[in-house]
């Protein structure tokens, strides 16, 4: 198994450096099945566009294909048919390392490592200076609590960041993403319970992170839905509707039901403004 050749590889000569390509993504008639379930289409003739610099929210039930979209954008897998375009270029024509430099992911449960706070922030860009790392920690509203640790940025986080609260782990992960300075952000919103103060700080940190970046969010909170430039409703591997929150509430039964179940029902009331 260790000698098995990966099916994901870079072309011998990449067509163009990714830095010269607009950070726009297009899925064109994409079919994809995981190797473990070859007869099941995780994505079924999916065609969606994600415009440069816009915030796109993905909404849908479990198994709809939202996380699969994230995996394919990062080229952990390639589709069996169809194309995924970065600008006008198929992802398979781009240098894999350069592509992944353009992308940062903030997950529900961020991956942190045994090591110092500074090591964890610089993980995606180890050549960065300490001053740069501290600056992004401030933008992520992490600097204040980091400086309260006995050894500050040199403090060891323990295995998987066990010594941090959920909100602190998220802000470290956001600082790491800011330091990487990606053009594409993939955000799987946290659903873990945070106290109101932590949630407010995480939200402000995320706003700093999303600013000016092409952002795709697996959305769990209505506040994000309302601020998204566009919402894509997923079901059974297909994009069944797209639009703004107020449009989809009226036009799509699945979205209306998900909004009622998953998000605050208060926000479903008509605006009085």
168-225 confidence digits (pLDDT tens):
999 999 999 999 999 999 999 865 556 677 778 888 888 889 999 999 999 887 777 8
Q: Give the residue with greater pLDDT, 249 vs 19.
A: 249
**pLDDT in the model for residue 165:** 85
Average per-residue pLDDT for the chain: 88
**Euclidean distance between CA atoms 191 and 154, whole angstroms:** 29
CA 37 to chain CA centroid, Å, is 24
Give the distance between the most distant pair of CA atoms in the chain. 64
SS3 assignment, position 269: coil
**pLDDT in the model for residue 197:** 78
Task: Say what the pTM is.
Answer: 0.88
Per domain, the residue ranges of the chain are: 112-180
**pLDDT in the model for residue 75:** 96
Q: CATH for 112-180?
A: 3.40.50.300
**pLDDT in the model for residue 1:** 35
Lowest average pLDDT, out of 17-26, 70-79, 100-109, 191-200, goes to: 191-200
**pLDDT in the model for residue 193:** 55
In b/e form, how buried is each residue of 121-130, taking b as 16+ CB within 10 angstroms? bbbbbeebee
């Amino acid at each position: 198994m260790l000698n098995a050749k990966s099916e994901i590889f870079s072309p011998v000569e990449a067509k163009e450096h990714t830095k010269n390509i607009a950070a726009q993504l297009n899925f064109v008639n994409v079919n994809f099945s995981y190797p473990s379930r070859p007869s099941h289409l995780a994505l079924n003739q999916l065609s969606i566009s994600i415009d440069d610099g816009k915030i796109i929210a993905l909404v849908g039930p479990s198994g709809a294909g939202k996380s699969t979209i994230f995996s394919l954008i990062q080229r952990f897998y390639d589709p069996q048919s169809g194309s995924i375009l970065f600008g006008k270029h198929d992802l398979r024509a781009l240098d894999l390392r350069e592509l992944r430099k353009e992308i940062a992911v903030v997950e529900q449960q961020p991956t942190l490592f045994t090591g110092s706070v500074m090591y964890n922030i610089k993980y995606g860009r180890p050549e960065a200076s300490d001053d740069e790392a501290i600056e992004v920690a401030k933008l992520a509203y992490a600097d204040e609590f980091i400086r309260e640790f006995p050894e500050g940025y040199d403090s060891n986080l323990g295995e998987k960041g066990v010594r941090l609260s959920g909100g602190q782990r998220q802000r470290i992960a956001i600082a790491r993403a800011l330091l990487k300075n990606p053009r594409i952000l993939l955000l799987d919103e946290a659903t873990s319970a945070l106290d109101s103060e932590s949630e407010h700080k995480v939200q402000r940190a995320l706003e700093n992170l999303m600013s000016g970046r092409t952002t795709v969010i697996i959305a769990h909170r209505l506040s994000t839905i309302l601020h998204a430039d566009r919402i894509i409703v997923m079901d059974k591997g297909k994009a069944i509707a797209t639009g703004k929150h107020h449009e989809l509430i009226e036009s799509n039964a699945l979205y209306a039901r998900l909004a009622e179940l998953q998000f605050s029902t208060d926000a479903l009331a008509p605006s009085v403004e």
